[in-house]
Amino acid sequence: MTTQRRTPQSARRSQATRHAILTAALELAGEVGYARLSIEGIAARAGAGKQTIYRWWPSKGAVLFDALLMLNEGQDEQSAELPDTGDLEADLKVVLQATVAELNDPRYSEPMRALAIEMLVDADLAAEFTERLDEPVKELKRRRLRSAQRAGQLAPDMDLDVALEMLWGPLRSRWLNRDGPLTTEFADTVVETALNGLRPRPS
Amino acid sequence: MTTQRRTPQSARRSQATRHAILTAALELAGEVGYARLSIEGIAARAGAGKQTIYRWWPSKGAVLFDALLMLNEGQDEQSAELPDTGDLEADLKVVLQATVAELNDPRYSEPMRALAIEMLVDADLAAEFTERLDEPVKELKRRRLRSAQRAGQLAPDMDLDVALEMLWGPLRSRWLNRDGPLTTEFADTVVETALNGLRPRPS
């Protein structure tokens, strides 16, 4: 009986410790950046032992990675598909405005920025990120664009990855380089410019 | 007379030393990355004294920076203006293909990538880069786009910085993230997609 009572209790305790560690990693990455993030620091902030962290994760990158996955999981329910009302421009504006909100939220943005910089020097981390976080989200975006292609709202021979770059690239660039304000107006301008192109259209 | 003979000689020697130091900085940044680049390493590679470097530059970032300016100066004569034949699409393809060639040239690309990553964590370095290297080049690009606006080839209310992002952003992103091949075909696709937009155009 004791063992049976203890098992769910210790599982709950493990869950709580895991959550504290991932939360601490997110907070610290935002505060000190990836380079100065350390397992020691995470352990101290989480009130956990260093050994506990090393038992569950091989590196600080792996901890931060799971922490960002945890943040993303909370959103999965409502955002497994991008909106598809049939109005491509309106739908894209909703989605890019949400991206802007996320990139302006320091809870997500600062650890994500720390990871983004580290990925530029660590090809393995970048490959893991691409596979586990980036590619699934990109596929949702491609799916919305394919639906628009079927509806005749996008050129049928469009290179979808170039299209994604036209839409999300300017947001990501402004976020990473911090070289301009990330506003909903900017998101709207990007959607309109990408859809209509730089050449004038007969109106 | 001795002094007079010595002065131009020592100026020539200084020039040669400066050139050796800047060349060594470029080579080493490409080989070991910015984080492991050191004044010691540059001095050893250049066959110069550490004190000489510290007398002329306050930091390794400043050395690398001047080294990249030196590379750029060599090109100034032929590229002070972007081509303007009146055919915007053709001109942009020429320019973006040149950008692709530059980004694929390790002599330029590797030290530039090292600097780009460092700028993401060093805001002062980023500001200096923007002022001395990036903004002058961007202004040349804006000038070409303004000429196209006057010719009715670009929407008159176009946000030119968003336009620049649509054109050069995808190249820069693929270069920085190393997540796809940087080819002339890619450059051409980017120019066509940015100019025409994602929506189909009546042909």
Among chain B residues, the shortest Cα distance to A36 is held by B121
Q: How high is the pLDDT of residue B75?
A: 60
Q: How high is the pLDDT of residue A1?
A: 42
CA distance B97 to B83: 13
CA distance A68 to A116: 12
Of A154, A165, A193, the CB nearest to B159: A193
Q: Does B161 touch chain A (CB under 8 A)?
A: yes
Q: How high is the pLDDT of residue B160?
A: 95
- Residue recorded with tokens 């990855």: A161
| From A161-170, B72-81, B87-96, the region with the lowest mean pLDDT | B72-81
Q: How high is the pLDDT of residue A159?
A: 92
Average confidence (pLDDT) over B84-91: 96
CA distance A46 to A49: 9
- The predicted-structure confidence for B19-70, as pLDDT tens digits, reads as follows 999 999 999 988 887 778 899 999 999 999 999 999 999 888 889 888 988 8
Q: How high is the pLDDT of residue A34?
A: 77
Interface contact flag, B130 A179, Cβ < 8 Å = yes
Q: Which fold has domain A1-58?
A: Arc Repressor Mutant, subunit A (1.10.10)
Best residue in A142, A193, A195, A198 for a mutation probing chain B (most B CBs within 10 Å): A198
Give the angle subtended at the CA of B139 by the CAs of B134 and B145, to the nearest 5°: 130
Average pLDDT, chain A: 88
CA distance B81 to A48: 60
Has residue B111 got a pLDDT over 80? yes
In chain B, where do the E strands start and end? Answer: none
Give the angle subtended at the CA of B69 by the CAs of B67 and B71, to the nearest 5°: 75
Q: Which residues contact A104 (CB under 8 A, 6 or more apart)?
A: A182
The number of helices, as runs of H, and strands, as runs of E, in chain A is: 10, 0
Interface contact flag, A33 B121, Cβ < 8 Å = yes
- The predicted-structure confidence for B137-188, as pLDDT tens digits, reads as follows 899 999 999 999 999 999 998 999 999 999 999 999 999 988 889 999 999 9
Q: How high is the pLDDT of residue B77?
A: 46
CA distance B108 to B70: 11
Has residue B3 got a pLDDT over 60? no
Of B33, B120, B165, the CB nearest to A117: B120
Q: Does B194 touch chain A (CB under 8 A)?
A: yes
CA distance B133 to B140: 12
Rounded to a whole number, what is the distance in Å from the CA of B159 to chain A's nearest CA?
A: 8
- What are the b/e assignments for B175-197, b being 16+ CB within 10 Å? bbeeeeebeeebbbbbbbbbbbb
Interface contact flag, A126 B177, Cβ < 8 Å = yes
Task: Write down the domain spans for chain B.
Answer: 1-59, 81-203
Residues of chain A with pLDDT below 70 are 1-6, 74-79, 203
Nearest to B189 by CA among A160, A171, A200: A160
Among chain B residues, the shortest Cα distance to A156 is held by B200
The CATH superfamily assigned to B1-59 is: Homeodomain-like (1.10.10.60)
Contacts of A173 in chain B (CB under 8 A): 165, 169, 172-173
Q: How high is the pLDDT of residue A3?
A: 47
Interface contact flag, A200 B156, Cβ < 8 Å = yes
Residue B178, CA distances (Å) to A181, B113, B121 in order: 26, 11, 19
Q: Which fold has domain B81-203?
A: Tetracycline Repressor; domain 2 (1.10.357)
Give the angle subtended at the CA of A36 by the CAs of A32 and A38, to the nearest 5°: 110
